[in-house]
Structure 1
Amino acid sequence: MTLKATIYKVDLQIADMDRNHYTDHNLTLARHPSETDERMMARVLMYALNAQEGIAFTRGLSEADEPEIWVKDLTGQITLWIDIGQPDEVRLRKACGRAGQVIALCHSSSCELWWKQIQNKLTRLTNLTVLQLPVASSQALAALAERTMRLQCLVQDGEAWISSDTQRIRVKLKTLKEPQR
């Protein structure tokens, strides 16, 4: 018997002052049985930080050829591909060939080790950004996870504040690799 995904509902209000983006989103997330609260909340964070027309969660862990989040333009082309975790070099190369911009977010304590192992292999990928979510922030975000959530995300000067009715968490992502311009 296979385990089914757990459904989470998120009422997400975004005020991104850096990008002049202010919207409300009613999200439904399917949390894969093998997914942790930290990983699920990292998906919510990346959705909030990259919210724009055409953004959507994909089948994620259930589909090997899709990212966690993508943005498609009106022609169906992938303009933004977002992976969560520690994707391998081959996956990142494929993603960079399929999408205009690729972001990989690492959120675990083994992030530095993963990055040291693959960073030299990715130098020529000009449309790749690699970010690290500090472990303390990742754990604090995981503590917000509930089946029904009301969250606010305020972004200003490169920092994000994620708030619920009871907590407020500061999130400052570390950039490990920037895209070449």
Structure 2
Amino acid sequence: MAIKPTIYKFKISLSDLNRDYYSALNLTVAQHPSETLERMMARVLAYCLNADELLSFTKGLSSVEEPDIWLRGLDDQLHLWIDVGEPAQDRIKKASRMAKSTRVYSFNSKSDTWWRQSQAGFANLPVQVFQFSWADMQALAKLVSRTSDMSFTITGDSTYIAADNGEVEIICRELQA
């Protein structure tokens, strides 16, 4: 019998000052049994940084053919492919052919090593690559409960996140534009 995902519910008050986008998000997020809380929160943060009414979580780790998050237009065209973690160059090369825009959000403790090894391979791809600090993601994971009310304020390269039990600032460092 397979282990089932853990379900988290988020009420997020989102203020993206960079895009003048303001919304109250009600997200239900499934944490895959093999997924860490930090990775799940990296997905939530990536979602908030790209929030749009057509943006949605996919099957993620359960389906290798899909990104973690995507934006499909009303005509079902793939407008945005978002991967979280340290994906292989071949995966992102394929994604960049399928989607109009491709973004990667790296967050892990091995993120710097992955980027040093992958940078040359990504250089010729039309993909944006960003990095969250591992220490910041660990701090964010500590704010999460199964039902969370949070406030996300995005300005410049910073996201300020406040919850009932604390707050954290996450810097989104751009590695490749």
Do these two structures clear the TM 0.5 threshold for a shared fold by scoring above it?
yes
> What is the aligned-residue RMSD (CA, Å)?
0.9
Task: Return structure 1 stretches of 4+ with deviation > 3 angstroms.
Answer: none
1:65 aligned to 2:62?
A: no
* Counterpart in the other structure of 1:132: 131
* Counterpart in the other structure of 1:108: 108
* Counterpart in the other structure of 1:143: 142
CA distance in 2, matches of 1:168, 1:12: 14
Any conservation in 1 of the 2:85–2:108 contact (CA below 8 Å)? yes
Q: What is the TM-score normalised by the length of structure 1?
A: 0.95
Note the 1:34-53 alignment, pairs <5 A.
34-53=34-53
CA distance in 1, matches of 2:104, 2:56: 16
CA distance in 2, matches of 1:132, 1:14: 20
* Counterpart in the other structure of 2:82: 82
Task: Kindly state the Cα deviation for residue 176 of structure 1 after the two structures are TM-superposed.
Answer: 1.1
* Counterpart in the other structure of 2:12: 12
Any conservation in 1 of the 2:157–2:173 contact (CA below 8 Å)? no
CA distance in 1, matches of 2:172, 2:156: 12
| Alignment deviations for residues 51-85 of structure 1 (CA, whole Å, 9 cap, x no partner) | 01200000000011111111111111111111011
CA distance in 2, matches of 1:96, 1:29: 25
Any conservation in 2 of the 1:18–1:158 contact (CA below 8 Å)? no
5+ long unaligned stretches in structure 1 = none
* Counterpart in the other structure of 1:21: 21
5+ long unaligned stretches in structure 2 = none
Any conservation in 2 of the 1:9–1:28 contact (CA below 8 Å)? yes
* Counterpart in the other structure of 2:157: 158
